[in-house]
Amino acid sequence: MPATTNTSEIITWLILSLIYFGGGDADLWTTIFIIDDLLDWLEHWMQPGQPKALEEDSEGIKQYHAQPYEMADPFDAALDLLRRLPPSSTQQNLNGIISLRPDLEDDLLSSVDVALTARRCPKSGRDYLCCDYNRDGNSYRSPWSNTFEPPIEPDDAAELIPGGRVRRMEEALNAGVDVYRELYYEGGVSSAYLWALDEGFAGVVLFKKTASGAGKGGWDSIHVLEVNEAATKRSAHYKLTSTVILDLGLSSSSIDNLDLAGNLTRQTQSDMSISGFRDSEVEQGHVVNIGRMVEDMETRMRNLLQEVYFGKAKDVVGDLRSIQPLSEAERDKAAHRDVISKMGR
């Protein structure tokens, strides 16, 4: 390996990528696919600066001398590695990368979507969800009490804790999504956070629902929004980016262990009108518009998961294992081809 290449970093990333095999529960084909992806990642990570040069030594023997390699950006390499590792272990792998490269912590936490965690607000006694948008170091802000736990410096709190119209809209939005969560999810935890921008405001709406019993299940939805208000305050442009993280698992003697995990991201934007002239009516109009966009997006993404992804998986499994005898299946196919041929005459 060329002397200019940071060998220790390559070995460190290699060890991290093999964390997946630590449990010893990966089968042969999974191992082959992971190693193949890892080799592709290494090829992408170390791009040659110049082609190999053909030179002659003192004895006239031609030899190839590799030129120095240019190392890719560590942040891009980390994202590429996380994309190739199992989605169900994203949090574990993310913590491993941060422990190796602490300088990437803020960028990775703001760019990588992981399953949400819940905490209990000591002042209100209600649960709230934690994400990068209500975090400051190791402290998280509760939407119910509007305070950080553990407490942060007063100067930092003055900049990070919303007030005025933004806080009033945040309180109304939390009340609305709490009712939505109870009606649609029949349990779970929800939270909404807003903060001011130069022209408008931004925020995030979070939902989390877990299930236990014969199998495990987890649904985490993250809706990041940006609102640009018109000068007249009579309309606004809403931009919504939604991510759903799904984690399903089943363990039984008949099928052994079954895990299905992944995430889906979609984006939409819309111009909506705001009725009313008073500040309270404008604020309520924003809350209604945000709630409508989040509800429509969640419905679309649930239908997409159910009809497209689960439907396609069911078709694949059905093609791999047919309950119908092969002779009957071939007879049905022949009859179908005969009907098609007669229709084409």
pLDDT value at residue 40? 59
Mean of all residue pLDDT scores within the chain: 82
Instruction: Establish if 205 belongs to a structural domain.
Output: yes
Same domain, 41 and 178: no
Kindly state whether residue 30 falls inside one of the protein's structural domains: yes
Treating both helix axes as pointing N-terminal to C-terminal, what angle do 7-17 and 28-45 enclose, rounded to 10 degrees?
Answer: 150
User: For 108-119, how does the pLDDT look when each residue is reduced to its tens digit (9 = 90+)?
Assistant: 988 888 999 999
Same domain, 199 and 68: no
When mean pLDDT is compared across 137-151, 211-225, 227-241, the lowest value belongs to: 211-225
The answer to whether position 134 is within a domain reads no
Domain-embedded: residue 170? yes
pLDDT score recorded for residue 25? 45
In a domain, 133, yes or no: no
Residue 313: pLDDT band with limits 50, 70, 90: confident
What CATH code is carried by the domain that includes residue 217?
A: 3.90.1150.210
Residues 177 and 44 in one domain: no
Give tens-digit pLDDT for 158-173.
Answer: 999 999 999 999 999 9
Q: Total structural domains in the chain?
A: 2
Q: Is the dihedral of CA 109, 110, 113, 116 positive or negative?
A: positive
- Specify if 329 maps to a domain: no
Same domain, 83 and 220: no
Pair type for strands 215-229 and 235-252: antiparallel
- Between 19 and 300, name the one with better pLDDT: 300
Please check whether residues 98 and 167 belong to one and the same domain: no
**pLDDT tens-place string over residues 43-100:** 555 554 444 444 555 555 545 444 454 567 889 889 988 888 888 888 899 999 999 9
Domain carrying residue 252: 163-320
- Whether pLDDT at 267 is above 80: yes
Report yes or no on 306 lying in a domain.
yes
Does 220 share its domain with 103? no
* Domain membership flag for residue 139: no
